[in-house]
A and B are shown apart, each in its own frame.
Chain A
């Protein structure tokens, strides 16, 4: 599927004191799990609020499902789990879910069967007539998640969905989110925890200080980062001192641009375009015992930290 579910073009949002989002453009294709990543205060929640028509952009254009601006028409097709979570503490789980489902435009007759089905799925059935305030935080969060999915939205917007959940419930939620994708739904979720994004996302967009840092397919991003990095860690058997052996010294013959000694080995940066396989072959040909030869793909966390740090110097401050 190549339909675009969310299409932001040059979206800017200013608050009195600062620039929350600056000229952000992104496209979320249909049927993917899309991660909106960034450090705290990067503009993730503001972007999500604009998609949900809670705040309006000062500049730029937002289109949902190809042609609809955020607002009433898109209402029924979006599910939203906000970062600021909360329900009416004095209402029962049943009544609060009926109310929220009605607001999403679900016909009353359809609501109760769905409430029962979803509560069963999330192991909350026995709590249906209890007041929200008597539930634990984690259970309240699951109830709120039910409110986000109960009308079977085409687009599910989840702001930091896993924060505050224990590992078992987090897994349960992940499973449901993947299931939604299988059904052809699109999921946009924000997080500042890269491990979560790495486990879940097909596509990501990293934003920092109101600007987009990079976006694209997670697989492509990781491959590019790996290629660009060319960092290899080598550990050799036998007696080698702290000094880098001749085989690993920088030079046009070795294809090594930089080398240094680290704990239990040497960290090398290969020259542009130098294949790792050639280095490994040379080491083996020289009769070295290779204990470790690591051309690790950088984790998303590493890419994120690197890229965000890179931009922090050059990115203009909001004002």
Chain B
């Protein structure tokens, strides 16, 4: 006879992959993901063709105005001219007139160079595209360049000297973790991995909790515990639901791979051509293995706690409240993202990525951002495994008593007694 846990796990898996929400989320996930990517690529590729029309109000000196105009309109390597500049003076330079032109869409915005700009280093821009970070960064850097040229001229430097002084330096950032991904791509992948882990662990942890609650409220547990020990039942449930999670993750990763491979024809349907030439960072087997490993570990840790929470509550509503502190732990881990990404080698980042309830999200993230020494990986896995054993042991004890309790919710003292009673 097969172990009771495997029968329970098979049931959880069969019912899990049959459920409506699994089918919907498995199909909709990649569609949504692909849609968002297609949309952003389409916007990016389409938007880049159109120059930004800027009215220029020069309150400093005509010299500076001309300098800013040329700087804004010149093309540099890898960065075509993005700005069409129209100097305005007199009545046309009044704020009301300019606001009206922006309003009517005649210009995209207007740039004001105040009289003291050389000293104060302060200029202002008002426009409909002021929230476009890429355009604003370009505008800002070019205005700065023009002002520096003007200052250099005042100091007596020749234009050629100034040019060589301001010659572009391209800093090509590359991750040193052997995958050869660029810094930007590494950040994106770290972020993606953190979101994926956070979401799947939360999703499937909650699924375990709801499954326990449903067995309690439907009273089916009584006959199940007569056939299988609570330990078998809990372990089978965790394994079955975890397998559903892996299946979904596999579907998503597979769909992502297909989307990436066929991005040309797919994007062409959205009217975007040449997308197959967009370089994508390659994802090796190593990072995928790390994500899957930490998903399994994080899932095991959290879902055992969620199972215990499910066992000590009698309705889904009670359980939703009781699970908040655990969910906050996971949210907290995710919130550490900026700390880790800002300085992935900082002792604080190292420490955070070793804490068991945080490491499932933070450690894979760090491995994308920086080479993580083997001892740190080993330490985090060891701490995780230790915690999983301890938490599962305690959760199983709570589970065993809790699933047959239909009365009031246990107090903290009672919970401790359940754990000790063993």
Interface residues of A (CB under 8 A from B): 16, 52-55, 75, 78, 80-91, 95, 99-100, 102-105, 144, 147-148
By the criterion CB–CB under 8 Å, are B7 and A88 in contact? no
By the criterion CB–CB under 8 Å, are A87 and B19 in contact? no
By the criterion CB–CB under 8 Å, are A90 and B15 in contact? yes
Residues of B228-270 at the interface with A, using a CB-CB cut-off of 8 Å, are 228
| B residues contacting the other copy or chain, number (CB 8 A) | 24
Cβ proximity bits B1-42 to A, threshold 8 Å, 1 near / 0 not: 110100110010011000100000000000000000000000
Most buried by A among B8, B220, B225, B227: B227
By the criterion CB–CB under 8 Å, are B404 and A144 in contact? no
Residues of B328-347 at the interface with A, using a CB-CB cut-off of 8 Å, are none
A105 to chain B, nearest CB (A): 5
Residues of B44-70 at the interface with A, using a CB-CB cut-off of 8 Å, are none
B164: interface (CB < 8 Å): no
Asked whether A88 and B222 contact (CB < 8 A) given A102-B7, A103-B4, A103-B227, the answer is no
B350 to chain A, nearest CB (A): 45
B351: interface (CB < 8 Å): no
A20 to chain B, nearest CB (A): 12
B174: interface (CB < 8 Å): no
List of A residues within 8 angstroms of B14 by Cβ: 95
Given contacts A88-B220, A102-B2, A103-B228, 17 further A-B contacts (CB under 8 A): A53-B226, A80-B226, A82-B223, A83-B222, A84-B219, A84-B222, A86-B219, A86-B221, A87-B220, A88-B15, A88-B215, A88-B218, A90-B15, A99-B11, A103-B4, A105-B1, A147-B223
B24 to chain A, nearest CB (A): 15
Q: Which residue on chain B has the smallest CB distance to residue A108?
A: B2
By the criterion CB–CB under 8 Å, are B1 and A86 in contact? no
B224: interface (CB < 8 Å): yes
Residues of B380-422 at the interface with A, using a CB-CB cut-off of 8 Å, are 404, 414
By the criterion CB–CB under 8 Å, are A55 and B15 in contact? no
List of B residues within 8 angstroms of A102 by Cβ: 2, 7
List of B residues within 8 angstroms of A84 by Cβ: 219, 222
Name 11 interchain pairs, CB-CB below 8 A, sorted by A.
Answer: A54-B222, A54-B404, A82-B222, A83-B222, A86-B218, A86-B221, A87-B220, A90-B15, A99-B7, A100-B223, A103-B8
List of A residues within 8 angstroms of B221 by Cβ: 86
Q: How far is the CA of A53 from the CA of B218 in the complex (A)?
A: 21
Q: Which of the residues B1, B11, B224, B404 comes within 8 Å of A55, measured between beta carbons? A: B404
Q: How far is the CA of A105 from the CA of B8 in the complex (A)?
A: 13
Q: Which of the residues A16, A55, A89, A144 comes within 8 Å of B223, measured between beta carbons? A: A144
List of B residues within 8 angstroms of A16 by Cβ: 414
Q: How far is the CA of A102 from the CA of B222 in the complex (A)?
A: 16
List of B residues within 8 angstroms of A90 by Cβ: 15, 19
By the criterion CB–CB under 8 Å, are B226 and A86 in contact? no
Q: How far is the CA of A82 from the CA of B223 in the complex (A)?
A: 6
Q: Which residue on chain A has the smallest CB distance to residue B219?
A: A86
By the criterion CB–CB under 8 Å, are A100 and B222 in contact? no
By the criterion CB–CB under 8 Å, are B219 and A85 in contact? yes
A256 to chain B, nearest CB (A): 53
A54 to chain B, nearest CB (A): 5
Residues of B197-227 at the interface with A, using a CB-CB cut-off of 8 Å, are 214-215, 218-227
A99 to chain B, nearest CB (A): 5
List of A residues within 8 angstroms of B15 by Cβ: 88, 90-91, 95
List of A residues within 8 angstroms of B228 by Cβ: 103
Q: Which of the residues A83, A85, A86, A104 comes within 8 Å of B227, measured between beta carbons? A: A104
By the criterion CB–CB under 8 Å, are A89 and B218 in contact? yes
List of A residues within 8 angstroms of B11 by Cβ: 95, 99
Q: How far is the CA of A126 from the CA of B240 in the complex (A)?
A: 30
Q: How far is the CA of A104 from the CA of B226 in the complex (A)?
A: 9
By the criterion CB–CB under 8 Å, are A52 and B226 in contact? yes
Asked whether A75 and B219 contact (CB < 8 A) given A99-B7, A103-B4, A103-B7, the answer is no
Q: Which 10 A-B pairs have the closest CB atoms?
A: A86-B219, A103-B227, A82-B222, A84-B219, A86-B218, A52-B226, A86-B220, A105-B1, A84-B222, A80-B226
B156 to chain A, nearest CB (A): 83
Q: How far is the CA of A67 from the CA of B7 in the complex (A)?
A: 28
By the criterion CB–CB under 8 Å, are B227 and A75 in contact? yes
Q: How far is the CA of A148 from the CA of B224 in the complex (A)?
A: 11
Q: How far is the CA of A103 from the CA of B220 in the complex (A)?
A: 13
Q: How far is the CA of A103 from the CA of B223 in the complex (A)?
A: 10
Q: How far is the CA of A75 from the CA of B224 in the complex (A)?
A: 11
Asked whether A54 and B218 contact (CB < 8 A) given A102-B7, A103-B7, the answer is no
Q: Which residue on chain A has the smallest CB distance to residue B225?
A: A54
B17 to chain A, nearest CB (A): 13
Q: How far is the CA of A241 from the CA of B171 in the complex (A)?
A: 122
Q: How far is the CA of A52 from the CA of B404 in the complex (A)?
A: 14
Q: How far is the CA of A85 from the CA of B370 in the complex (A)?
A: 55
By the criterion CB–CB under 8 Å, are A54 and B219 in contact? no
Cβ proximity bits B169-208 to A, threshold 8 Å, 1 near / 0 not: 0000000000000000000000000000000000000000
List of B residues within 8 angstroms of A104 by Cβ: 227
B97 to chain A, nearest CB (A): 67
B237 to chain A, nearest CB (A): 13
Q: How far is the CA of A90 from the CA of B219 in the complex (A)?
A: 14
Q: Which residue on chain A has the smallest CB distance to residue B8?
A: A103
Q: How far is the CA of A125 from the CA of B404 in the complex (A)?
A: 32
B220 to chain A, nearest CB (A): 4
A94 to chain B, nearest CB (A): 12
B229 to chain A, nearest CB (A): 8
B369 to chain A, nearest CB (A): 42
B208 to chain A, nearest CB (A): 15
Q: Which residue on chain B has the smallest CB distance to residue A83?
A: B222
List of A residues within 8 angstroms of B1 by Cβ: 105
Q: How far is the CA of A95 from the CA of B224 in the complex (A)?
A: 14
List of B residues within 8 angstroms of A88 by Cβ: 15, 214-215, 218, 220
Q: Which residue on chain A has the smallest CB distance to residue B223?
A: A82
B381 to chain A, nearest CB (A): 34
Q: How far is the CA of A84 from the CA of B223 in the complex (A)?
A: 9
Q: Which residue on chain B has the smallest CB distance to residue A86?
A: B219
List of B residues within 8 angstroms of A80 by Cβ: 223, 226
List of B residues within 8 angstroms of A147 by Cβ: 223
Q: How far is the CA of A90 from the CA of B11 in the complex (A)?
A: 12
Q: How far is the CA of A53 from the CA of B230 in the complex (A)?
A: 11
A295 to chain B, nearest CB (A): 45
Q: Which residue on chain A has the smallest CB distance to residue B217?
A: A86
A69 to chain B, nearest CB (A): 14
List of A residues within 8 angstroms of B19 by Cβ: 90
